[in-house]
Chain A
């Protein structure tokens, strides 16, 4: 049975959007401060009071603080003032600590708001440093960035921990709802993004930042493609573009280092001068980016044809298939998602595994054809509408030749903003060719699984980093 308190709180929560919190903000702050000092001196074991306070805080956080942070415009002069807002949220977190909120989403929500606030400040400061000319101001801004990013990482971690606690207390059927999956995915992305910002803007280790960005992209691919988490196009595009900016920046920096190094070794004065000019120009280009490179470690640039990665990738996967045929294991430890594919490879004779097999002249070849078993197509480039037409052609060819099991391995990292398009296109194909057994994988996962399975079967470890391998393969 509901009491009048509960009725009032339900009604107030329903009216949350029409409450003008700005006019009563001072009363609320006063009340929150009073509550904190009161509870420490007057323990009250009532179960209803914390529930009431929790509901009131929720209404305030959702309808006021969150909106306030979302609409906040940060300037150099108000950057310190925004600390008042951060203090207000921290005060609420202190209260939530006092009242047991195990089952509440509020602590996670508050940490997420703090995270958003710090992110806004960080974006402003990065922009500020980019345009500012006064060295001292730049240095001050950098000091704030260093401090902010530390907190930033902490808030993102607490935000996800709070959400995990909240989910654990939900009924099992609720835990699998799309909205819950999306919420936890976005918090994971926040956590990785905080790590990325720390490397890029505080530690200024661009190559490490780029590695974190790789992790973010792989995570987004896994969530969007495998787990069907409805991530927005703008979110996917943001990370795709940020990755591209870092990639180009890192290349310019490495080129600058190489030109400077090689220039110093030249014998002719005029040649050295030309190289010095090139170095200076690259330095100017470097400054057009919002990043800084402080350490280049042992990275180097290589020149190769644009088709090399794709061709090498095909060859490499083909070799892995051959190896798996020789010594791979099919048992209860075989990853279930890949069992079908691995069984196809294992249960044929070695000669039946063909690379670039041409079935009909003038028609597309099958990248890896496992005769009488399946066709494996590898798509390492961006998938545009022309490529989709080609895929229809490949599937039609397989269908005509009685190949009913087809695996597509797609480079989703390169197609991160097209995941939905790819998914829908393959759904359409599956509806059209109902008799075909069609499966789509991320190409990186296929290589990863094959390497892991070979390791499991006793093959010696690679003597280079897997990350370097993926870079050469362009994953």
Chain B
């Protein structure tokens, strides 16, 4: 029988975080750009994988953390043409961030909490 080793959050989110960083690069340019649609498609797909894995592991804390990062990036997809939808996602993202903080306290303003946003 093969021994199944539990994946760490870093491993689970590796690809997801890379996509997040790619999205950030567009947003943080001096002339801040909306990232291309295919990047958001990749973000959707990869988030589904992350979500599935955390659900399997019953890891609510990391699921909330990843969901926040997902919704936050996702808000940029609509910021130009559907700002209402975008704002709705931002509000949802902050609510989830607060729920995550309530479960296990973030080290305030540390990379753990805000690092992914930069």
Within 8 A of A (CB), among B55-75: 72-73, 75
Chain B residues within 8 Å of A8, by CB: 27, 72, 75-76, 79, 86, 90
Question: Interface with A: B7-15, B39-47, B108-116, which one?
Answer: B108-116
B3 sits at the interface (CB 8 A)? no
Chain B residues within 8 Å of A15, by CB: 79, 83, 86
Chain B residues within 8 Å of A28, by CB: 91
A461 sits at the interface (CB 8 A)? no
Asked if A44 and B108 sit within 8 Å, CB to CB, the answer is yes
Expressed in whole angstroms, the minimum distance between the Cβ of A92 and any Cβ of chain B is 14
Q: Map CB proximity to B onto A16-52 as digits: 1 under 8 Å, 0 otherwise.
A: 0011110110011001001100100110111111001
Q: Is the interface of A mostly helix, strand, loop or mixed?
A: helix
Q: Map CB proximity to A onto B27-52 as digits: 1 under 8 Å, 0 otherwise.
A: 11000100000000000000000000
User: With A8-B79, A12-B86 in contact, is A3–B109 under 8 Å at CB?
Assistant: no
Asked if A4 and B113 sit within 8 Å, CB to CB, the answer is no
Alpha-carbon distance A47/B102, docked complex (angstroms): 17
Q: Map CB proximity to B onto A448-474 as digits: 1 under 8 Å, 0 otherwise.
A: 000000000000000000000000000
Give the most central of B84, B95, B105: most A CB within 10 Å.
B84
A84 sits at the interface (CB 8 A)? no
Alpha-carbon distance A181/B113, docked complex (angstroms): 42
Asked if A46 and B91 sit within 8 Å, CB to CB, the answer is no
Q: Map CB proximity to B onto A73-98 as digits: 1 under 8 Å, 0 otherwise.
A: 00000000000000000000000000
A56 sits at the interface (CB 8 A)? yes
Asked if B109 and A48 sit within 8 Å, CB to CB, the answer is yes
A7 sits at the interface (CB 8 A)? yes
Expressed in whole angstroms, the minimum distance between the Cβ of B98 and any Cβ of chain A is 5
User: With A7-B28, A12-B90, A56-B90 in contact, is A24–B79 under 8 Å at CB?
Assistant: no
User: With A24-B87, A31-B94 in contact, is A4–B118 under 8 Å at CB?
Assistant: yes
Asked if A7 and B98 sit within 8 Å, CB to CB, the answer is no
Chain A residues within 8 Å of B79, by CB: 8, 11-12, 15
Chain B residues within 8 Å of A27, by CB: 88, 91-92
Chain A residues within 8 Å of B109, by CB: 46-48
Alpha-carbon distance A11/B86, docked complex (angstroms): 10
Asked if B101 and A20 sit within 8 Å, CB to CB, the answer is no
B17 sits at the interface (CB 8 A)? no
Cβ contact of A42, chosen from B92, B94, B95, B101, cutoff 8 A: B101
Interface size class of B (residues with CB under 8 A): 20 to 34
Cβ contact of A35, chosen from B75, B98, B106, cutoff 8 A: B98
Cβ contact of B98, chosen from A2, A11, A19, A42, cutoff 8 A: A42
Within 8 A of B (CB), among A120-147: none
How many residues on the A side are at the interface (Cβ–Cβ under 8 A)?
A: 33
A392 sits at the interface (CB 8 A)? no
Chain A residues within 8 Å of B113, by CB: 46
Asked if A31 and B84 sit within 8 Å, CB to CB, the answer is no
Cβ contact of A56, chosen from B72, B91, B98, B114, cutoff 8 A: B91
Give the most central of A27, A49, A59: most B CB within 10 Å.
A49
Alpha-carbon distance A3/B24, docked complex (angstroms): 9
Give A20's nearest chain B residue, CB to CB. B84
User: With A12-B83, A27-B91 in contact, is A2–B28 under 8 Å at CB?
Assistant: yes
Chain B residues within 8 Å of A44, by CB: 98, 101, 106, 108
User: With A8-B76, A11-B79, A46-B108 in contact, is A52–B94 under 8 Å at CB?
Assistant: yes
| B interface with A by C-beta (< 8 Å) | 24, 27-28, 32, 72-73, 75-76, 79, 83-84, 86-88, 90-92, 94-95, 98, 101-102, 105-106, 108-109, 113-114, 117-118
Show 24 A/B contacts (Cβ-Cβ < 8 Å), sorted by A: A4-B24, A4-B27, A4-B76, A7-B27, A8-B72, A8-B86, A8-B90, A15-B79, A15-B83, A18-B84, A19-B87, A24-B87, A28-B91, A41-B102, A42-B98, A42-B102, A44-B108, A46-B106, A46-B109, A46-B114, A48-B114, A52-B94, A56-B90, A56-B94
The 4 nearest A-B residue pairs measured at CB: A15-B83, A46-B108, A3-B118, A20-B84
